[in-house]
């Protein structure tokens, strides 16, 4: 049986408290992601800084993503109707080409607040 000194036990307790508080502070904020289409809309929960594609696939919402989220096929296009998302990267701009500013790749746009989107279906 291992015996610890009182000093060792106290320092381990402090360490566990510090680790626990660090995990608590890293809890992600939750936002709502509303997907609008011709029929109506569907609201799902999105985590802070999560890609829109990850949120949609987790919630089983139909979207094409042929390259698996590697920002190379351009099939995961969405239109940001409202809300805060990350700025587009150079690669994303290259894949998107000349399009409306509200058009983004779902695999690259990260959630920064409550957002409303429309999925652009390029292929049926
Ligand atoms: S999944 Fe291919 S560009 Fe987003």
Q: What is the CATH number of the domain that holds 81?
A: 3.10.20.30
* Distance of alpha carbon 64 from alpha carbon 81, whole angstroms: 19
9 within a domain of the structure (yes/no): no
46 within a domain of the structure (yes/no): yes
20 within a domain of the structure (yes/no): no
Contact 88 CB / ligand 1 (< 6 Å): no
Distance 17 CA to ligand 1 centre (A): 41
Distances (CA, A) of 4 to 14, 16, 63, 92: 15, 16, 56, 55
pLDDT higher for 124 or 109? 109
Domain count across the chain: 1
25 within a domain of the structure (yes/no): no
Contact 105 CB / ligand 1 (< 6 Å): yes
| Model confidence, pTM | 0.78
36 within a domain of the structure (yes/no): yes
70 within a domain of the structure (yes/no): yes
List the structure tokens of 33.
């992601």
Q: What is the pLDDT of residues 45-73, one digit of tens each?
A: 999 999 999 999 999 999 999 999 999 99
């Amino acid at each position: 049986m291992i015996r610890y000194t009182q000093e060792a036990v106290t320092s381990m307790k402090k360490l566990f408290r510090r680790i626990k508080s660090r995990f608590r502070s890293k809890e992600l904020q939750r936002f709502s992601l509303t997907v609008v289409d011709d029929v109506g809309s569907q609201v799902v929960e999105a985590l802070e800084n999560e890609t829109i594609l990850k949120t949609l696939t987790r919630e089983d919402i139909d979207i094409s993503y042929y390259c698996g989220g590697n920002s190379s096929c351009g099939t995961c296009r969405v239109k940001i109707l409202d809300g805060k998302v990350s700025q587009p990267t150079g690669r994303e701009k290259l894949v998107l080409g000349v399009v409306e500013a509200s058009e983004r790749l779902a695999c690259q746009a990260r959630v920064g607040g409550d957002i409303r989107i429309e999925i652009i279906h390029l292929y049926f």
